[in-house]
Each structure stands twice: as structure tokens, then as C-alpha cells.
């Protein structure tokens, strides 16, 4: 994590493959396993090698702003303009959302 006192100053950067579904919502792609034997078994069973983690409207909007240019505070401001009251309390929700994504490796923090 960055050497900053306030998480709202952190700048999230996408750190995993992702896509969008037919409704325009983002899903994150995470490999089920790195183990070659398990991959072979999964393949033989005809299963997908990946998990797809589907984000809701707010998660999708936040994810699309995680471009390495906007701090969490800036993302909050942008989403308040776009989504209004739906996002409140924006700063708290976004800080928790991005912290969870960072913990699981879906985003990284931009180092300055």
C-alpha cells in the first residue's frame, strides 16, 4: 500500500482481466487454480478455468474509474455526479470496495 495517511488519496489501478456482460456490467476474471494437475482435471470436466466475479451498477461504475488517474476521493466525486444519492455514503463505500479489491489482487495502488 502507499505511504499515505488517508486511503481516499490512494489511486487504484485495475490489476486483472475483466469483461462486460450483456447488460454492460463488469465482471472480473480470476483463475481458479495455478496447479497444473487441477487445471487438467477442470478441463477434463469441461469446466471453466476461471471465476467470473460480477459487479453491480456501483461496482461497475467504480471499476471503470480505476484507471490510475483518479484517487478514491476523485472517483467518489465523479460517481456522486453520475449516480447521486445511490452511492452515499460514497467515500466510505468506495474506500471499503477498493480495499477489498486490493486485498484480493484485483487492483493495485499506483505508486508515486
pLDDT score of 108: 95
- Look at residue 103 in the predicted model and tell me its pLDDT: 95
Average pLDDT, the chain: 90
pLDDT above 90: percentage of residues in the chain = 68
Predicted local confidence at residue 10, as pLDDT:
95
The CA distance from 79 to 66, in Å, is 12
pLDDT of residue 3: 52
Query: Over pLDDT 70: what percentage of the chain?
Result: 96
Does the CA dihedral 73-76-78-81 come out positive or negative?
Answer: negative
Across the range 75-97, mean pLDDT stands at 92
Mean pLDDT to the nearest integer, 81-85: 89
User: Which residue is associated with the grid cell 453520475?
Assistant: 82
Q: What is the pLDDT of residues 30-67, one digit of tens each?
A: 988 778 888 788 888 888 778 899 999 999 999 999 99
Q: 107: which 3 cell numbers?
A: 487492483
Amino acid at each position: 500500500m502507499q505511504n499515505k495517511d488517508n486511503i481516499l488519496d490512494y489511486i487504484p489501478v485495475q490489476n486483472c482481466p475483466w469483461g462486460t456482460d450483456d447488460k454492460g456490467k463488469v465482471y472480473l476474471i480470476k483463475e481458479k487454480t495455478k496447479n497444473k494437475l487441477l487445471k487438467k482435471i477442470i478441463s477434463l470436466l469441461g469446466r471453466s478455468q476461471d471465476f467470473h466475479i460480477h459487479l453491480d451498477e456501483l461496482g461497475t461504475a467504480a471499476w471503470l474509474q480505476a484507471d490510475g488517474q483518479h484517487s478514491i476521493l476523485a472517483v467518489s466525486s465523479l460517481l456522486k455526479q453520475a449516480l447521486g444519492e445511490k452511492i452515499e455514503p460514497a467515500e466510505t463505500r468506495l474506500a471499503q470496495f477498493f480495499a477489498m479489491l486490493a486485498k484480493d489482487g484485483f487492483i493495485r495502488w499506483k505508486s508515486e
